[in-house]
Homo-oligomer: A and B are copies of this chain.
Amino acid sequence: MKSRDISLAACSYSHVLEIISNKWTALVIYSLENGTIRYGEIQRRIEGISQKMLTQTLRQLERDGLVSRKVTPSVPPIVEYALTPLGDSLIPCMKMLKDWAADHYSEVGKAREAYDTSGAEPVVR
């Protein structure tokens, strides 16, 4: 009984990906990796993110227990976000991914170029 089927539900890969594979999630976690930070600051850090997506992403991360949210009721209100210990434990993984990308992404670029040059780009994109 070696490696049997690996349906979505059964495989732990899916669980992590379910968490970090959204377009913005990884960037948001990244922006928090140096400590507590305010909403507006995150938005300034991540160029191109809309309020909607930022809020949605933060809510998801909060729900997953990776990010904590602290509201200071004042006028104007101050809302700060930070990684929880659980969220922090993800950082090494993220870093490894990032390092892999830094080391190998140029190869991927080359491969794509080669692939697209030989055949007449049959990939859907």
Determine if A79 is an interface residue (Cβ-Cβ < 8 Å): no
User: Would you call A46 an interface residue if the criterion is a C-beta within 8 Å of the partner chain's C-beta atoms?
Assistant: yes
Indicate whether A7 reaches chain B with its CB closer than 8 angstroms: yes
| Chain A window 87-121, contacts with chain B (Cβ cutoff 8 Å), 1 for yes, 0 for no | 00110111011101110110110111011100000
For A16-50 the 0/1 string (1 means CB < 8 A from B) is 11011110001100110010000000001111100
Q: Which residues of B sit under 8 angstroms from A22, Cβ to Cβ? A: 21
Residues of B within 8 A of A21 (CB): 17, 20-22
Interface residues of A (CB under 8 A from B): 3-8, 11-17, 19-22, 26-27, 30-31, 34, 44-48, 56, 59-60, 62-66, 86, 89-90, 92-94, 96-98, 100-102, 104-105, 107-108, 110-112, 114-116, 122-124
In the complex, are the beta carbons of A27 and B14 less than 8 A apart? yes
With a 10 A CB-CB cut-off, give which of A3, A17, A124 has the most chain B CB atoms.
A17
A12 to B97, CA, bound (A): 8
Query: Who on chain B is nearest to A19 by CB?
Result: B108
Residues on B with beta carbons closer than 8 Å to the beta carbon of A92: 96
Complex interface: chain B residues within 8 A of A108 (CB): 15, 19, 64-66, 86
User: A5 near B46 (CB under 8 angstroms)?
Assistant: yes
